[in-house]
Amino acid sequence: MSAADHQAALFAVDAAPAAPVSGVPAGVRDPAAFNAALTGDGYGWLADLLTAPQPPACEGCGQPMSLPAAAPVLWACPACQPAEAA
Protein backbone atom coordinates (compact mmCIF):
# COMPACT_ATOMS: atom_id res chain seq x y z
CA MET A 1 0.00 0.00 0.00
CA SER A 2 1.18 3.43 -0.79
CA ALA A 3 1.04 6.44 1.52
CA ALA A 4 -1.99 7.75 -0.37
CA ASP A 5 -3.83 4.46 0.22
CA HIS A 6 -3.08 4.63 3.97
CA GLN A 7 -4.39 8.18 4.16
CA ALA A 8 -7.53 7.30 2.21
CA ALA A 9 -8.17 4.39 4.58
CA LEU A 10 -8.29 6.83 7.50
CA PHE A 11 -11.33 8.51 5.99
CA ALA A 12 -13.13 5.43 4.71
CA VAL A 13 -16.71 5.33 5.93
CA ASP A 14 -18.08 1.98 7.03
CA ALA A 15 -21.76 1.17 6.70
CA ALA A 16 -23.84 2.71 9.50
CA PRO A 17 -24.99 0.21 12.11
CA ALA A 18 -28.67 -0.60 12.25
CA ALA A 19 -30.75 1.44 14.67
CA PRO A 20 -31.47 -0.35 17.94
CA VAL A 21 -34.91 -1.85 18.27
CA SER A 22 -37.01 -0.44 21.09
CA GLY A 23 -39.24 -2.67 23.15
CA VAL A 24 -41.93 0.01 23.47
CA PRO A 25 -44.24 0.39 20.48
CA ALA A 26 -44.89 3.95 19.41
CA GLY A 27 -48.45 5.09 19.25
CA VAL A 28 -50.54 8.22 19.26
CA ARG A 29 -52.61 8.57 22.40
CA ASP A 30 -54.94 11.23 23.62
CA PRO A 31 -53.20 13.06 26.51
CA ALA A 32 -56.49 14.32 27.97
CA ALA A 33 -56.80 11.28 30.22
CA PHE A 34 -53.37 11.98 31.73
CA ASN A 35 -53.65 15.76 32.09
CA ALA A 36 -55.81 15.67 35.22
CA ALA A 37 -53.52 13.17 36.92
CA LEU A 38 -50.40 15.15 36.05
CA THR A 39 -51.67 18.58 37.05
CA GLY A 40 -53.36 17.43 40.24
CA ASP A 41 -54.95 20.05 42.45
CA GLY A 42 -52.09 22.53 42.31
CA TYR A 43 -50.61 21.40 45.64
CA GLY A 44 -53.65 22.71 47.48
CA TRP A 45 -53.42 19.70 49.78
CA LEU A 46 -49.92 20.78 50.81
CA ALA A 47 -51.01 24.35 51.50
CA ASP A 48 -53.76 22.96 53.74
CA LEU A 49 -51.19 21.06 55.80
CA LEU A 50 -48.84 24.01 56.29
CA THR A 51 -49.42 26.81 58.77
CA ALA A 52 -49.68 30.39 57.55
CA PRO A 53 -46.28 32.06 57.16
CA GLN A 54 -45.26 34.52 59.86
CA PRO A 55 -44.71 37.99 58.40
CA PRO A 56 -41.19 39.34 58.71
CA ALA A 57 -40.59 42.79 60.16
CA CYS A 58 -39.90 45.60 57.72
CA GLU A 59 -36.25 46.61 57.75
CA GLY A 60 -37.20 50.28 57.42
CA CYS A 61 -39.91 50.77 60.04
CA GLY A 62 -40.20 47.47 61.90
CA GLN A 63 -43.91 46.89 61.13
CA PRO A 64 -45.03 43.40 60.09
CA MET A 65 -45.09 43.03 56.32
CA SER A 66 -48.03 41.59 54.36
CA LEU A 67 -48.53 39.41 51.32
CA PRO A 68 -50.37 41.44 48.66
CA ALA A 69 -53.14 39.75 46.71
CA ALA A 70 -51.54 40.68 43.37
CA ALA A 71 -48.28 38.84 44.19
CA PRO A 72 -48.83 36.59 47.22
CA VAL A 73 -45.20 35.44 47.27
CA LEU A 74 -43.59 38.87 47.73
CA TRP A 75 -43.69 40.51 51.15
CA ALA A 76 -44.48 44.25 51.17
CA CYS A 77 -44.63 46.78 53.99
CA PRO A 78 -48.01 48.60 54.19
CA ALA A 79 -46.32 51.68 55.67
CA CYS A 80 -43.23 51.94 53.46
CA GLN A 81 -44.68 50.49 50.24
CA PRO A 82 -48.44 51.19 50.29
CA ALA A 83 -48.89 50.83 46.54
CA GLU A 84 -47.25 47.39 46.50
CA ALA A 85 -48.90 46.15 49.70
CA ALA A 86 -52.43 46.84 48.43
| pLDDT, position 1 | 64
Residue 17 falls inside a structural domain: no
Count structural domains, the chain: 1
pLDDT in tens, 15-42: 777 877 777 766 777 777 777 777 776 7
C-beta separation of 84 from 76 below 8 A: yes
Residue 72 falls inside a structural domain: yes
CA–CA separation, 56 and 43 (whole Å): 24
Range of the domain at 86: 60-86
Residue 30 falls inside a structural domain: no
Residue 41 falls inside a structural domain: no
Residue 75 falls inside a structural domain: yes
Residue 35 falls inside a structural domain: no
| Confidence (pTM) | 0.42
Residue 31 falls inside a structural domain: no
Residue 76 falls inside a structural domain: yes
**Torsion-angle region of residue 22: left (phi > 0), alpha (psi -120 to 50) or beta?**
beta
